[in-house]
Structures are given as C-alpha cells and as structure tokens.
C-alpha cells in the first residue's frame, strides 16, 4: 500500500521567538500542502526568562543542563509561551494546529538520562513514540506542533532536544506515513564552500556521504547531523532535507536519501 506523504519540519528557537521571523515562517509553513508536523525549539527565550528569574543557564556543548528550576522555565517557555504563540499564529492562517508536549496523549515517552560524566538533570532520552495517536490526530485534520519536552510516564516532564524530537517522531510515524523530515538550518543546505550559496550539494546518498566525509566537506557539527539523518532513513524515514527556514517547500536545500 502506498503511504500518504507527510512533512515534519524542525525549526530552531531563533526563528520562532522573534515576531517578525515567526510570522514569515508561519506563512511558509501554512503554505505547505498536505499532512505536516512542526517541531520547534525555544532555547533563547528560556535563557532570557531564566535570567530574569535569577536562574543561571548552564550549557555543555550547546545543550542545556536542566535542574528543577530550569525544568519549570522550559515547561513554561517551550510548552506555553513559544508553543501557544505558534498555535495561535497558525490558527489565524487556517491551519488547525494543536500544541503537544510528549506528555500530551503520551506521544513521547522518555527516561531521565543516566548520570555519567555530566549530570544533565531533567533531560529525557526518548524511549517510545505513539505513532498511532499521532496518525489518528493528523487524519482528523489536526497539525501537531511539538514542543521539545517529553515525560517519563511517572509524572515528570523532561527537557529533550528538538532535533531529537523531530527525528524520533519521524521514525515513530514512518509506519503510517511516507515521511520527509526537514531540518531548518542557518545555511541553504550542505555546501562545498560555506561562503558560497551556489556551492550547495543538492543530494547526498550513502556513496556521496562517504566521499564528502573523506574529502572533509562534511566536518565538525555537520558529521552527527548527517549521521542522524541516515539513522532516520535506516528507520523508515523516506527523505531528510537540510535547508534554510524560508525554503521549506520540499524542493530546496540538501536532500539526503539512502
């Protein structure tokens, strides 16, 4: 049976936290046809509001350490402020948005990350995705808007990276849909020369991936990003796109396939 297509778009906090970039992004997101899901970040607002509340943001490798006070802040900011502004903005654009954390409908169950070298605090590693409830919601015309929060099924919310939420959700619904997962990114895609927008690499498959790794085109933070993309592809996701937030119509950016 041919599965129906769905687009999962992941957008970082930077875009959705400022009214002007948010409005433009929501216009673009609203214009995507067919089934879709939005996964958003919100780290800058969390840092800003934590600061005003006298709570220090501690980051390791760009990831947030989440103690009890910080968990309250990210619950407010990701689940409330950022998520509900997106939902209201999309409703104004006739998109029947529904804001979700992983606790809502038990969509994303996680466990608290075990303490090793670093105690990340209330950070969740995803255990399971309820693809079936997402499928049912989406088939009634609902567009899920997912905040980067999960829960442990024992009453605790957990902070979970938005890229991870997007990838896990994509894998979790791949049984029900033909999934394209799009990561919005500060560049138009993966480029031979980051200074030259025309050097974008339109397609990466396993063979090209090996060559780009060998010649150093894919390096630094791009290495795990592309690895995660292949991991999603090996778990049922049809295509991963890395593109700029104003180019999410599925035709632009770097397309990654197996």
177 Cβ neighbours under 8 A, 6+ residues apart: 3, 4, 5, 6, 35, 135, 138
Question: Which residue lies nearer to a second copy by CB, 104 or 255?
Answer: 104
Query: Could you tell me if 147 and 82 are in contact, meaning their C-beta atoms sit under 8 angstroms apart?
Result: yes
> In terms of Cα–Cα distance, which of 61, 145, 50 is closest to 107?
145
The CB-of-128 to a second copy minimum distance in angstroms stands at 13
Distance CA 76, CA 100 (A): 13
Residue closer to a second copy, measured from CB, 15 or 97? 97
The number of C-alpha atoms within 13 Å of 24 and in the hemisphere containing its C-beta is 10
Whose Cβ is closer to a second copy: residue 32's or residue 49's? 49
Nearer to a second copy, 157 or 181 (CB): 157
Min dist CB 156 to a second copy, Å, is: 6
CB nearer to a second copy: pick between 157 and 237: 157
- Is 208 strand, coil or helix? helix
Task: Confirm if 242 and 12 have CB atoms less than 8 A apart.
Answer: no
Nearest distance from residue 194's CB to a second copy, in Å? 35
Q: Quote the least distance from Cβ 246 to a second copy, whole Å.
A: 19
Residues that bind a second copy (CB under 8 A): 49, 52-54, 72, 75-81, 83-85, 87-89, 91-92, 96-101, 103-106, 133, 136, 140, 142, 149, 151, 153-157
In 10 A of CB 253, how many CB atoms? 25
Taking the complex as a whole, the smallest distance from the CB of residue 258 to a second copy amounts, in Å, to 34
Contacts 24+ apart (CB under 8 A), 198-206: 200/253, 200/254, 201/254, 202/254, 202/255, 203/254, 203/255, 203/256, 203/257, 204/254, 204/255, 204/256, 204/257, 205/256, 205/257, 205/258, 206/230, 206/258
Please, what is the minimum distance in Å from the beta carbon of residue 24 to a second copy?
A: 13
Chain mean position to CA 138: 17
Nearest CB to a second copy, comparing residues 84 and 187:
84
Please state, in angstroms and rounded to a whole number, the distance separating the CA atoms of residues 88 and 97: 8
Q: How near is the Cβ of 49 to a second copy at its closest, in Å?
A: 8
CB-nearer residue toward a second copy: 105 or 208: 105
């Amino acid at each position: 049976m041919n599965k129906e297509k769905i687009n999962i778009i992941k957008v970082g906090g930077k875009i959705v936290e400022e009214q002007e970039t948010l409005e433009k992004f929501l216009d673009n997101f609203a214009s995507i046809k067919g089934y879709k899901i939005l996964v958003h970040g919100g780290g800058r607002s969390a840092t800003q509001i934590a600061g005003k509340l006298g709570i220090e943001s501690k980051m390791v490798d760009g990831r947030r350490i989440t103690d009890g006070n910080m968990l309250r802040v990210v619950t407010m900011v990701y689940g409330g402020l950022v998520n509900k502004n997106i939902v209201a903005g999309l409703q104004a654009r006739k998109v029947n948005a529904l804001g979700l954390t992983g606790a809502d409908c038990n969509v994303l169950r996680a466990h608290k990350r075990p303490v090793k070298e670093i105690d990340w605090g209330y950070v969740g590693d995803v255990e399971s995705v309820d693809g079936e409830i997402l499928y049912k919601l989406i088939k009634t015309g609902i567009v899920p808007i997912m905040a980067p929060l999960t829960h442990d099924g024992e009453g605790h919310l957990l902070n979970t990276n938005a890229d991870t939420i997007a990838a896990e959700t994509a894998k979790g619904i791949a049984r029900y849909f033909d999934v394209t997962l799009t990561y919005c990114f500060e560049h138009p895609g993966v480029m031979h020369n980051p200074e030259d927008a025309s050097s974008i690499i339109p397609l990466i498959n396993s063979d090209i991936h090996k060559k780009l790794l060998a010649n150093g085109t894919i390096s630094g933070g791009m290495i795990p990003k592309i690895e995660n993309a292949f991991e999603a592809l090996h778990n049922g996701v049809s295509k991963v796109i890395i593109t700029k937030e104003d180019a999410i119509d599925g035709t632009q950016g770097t397309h990654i396939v197996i």
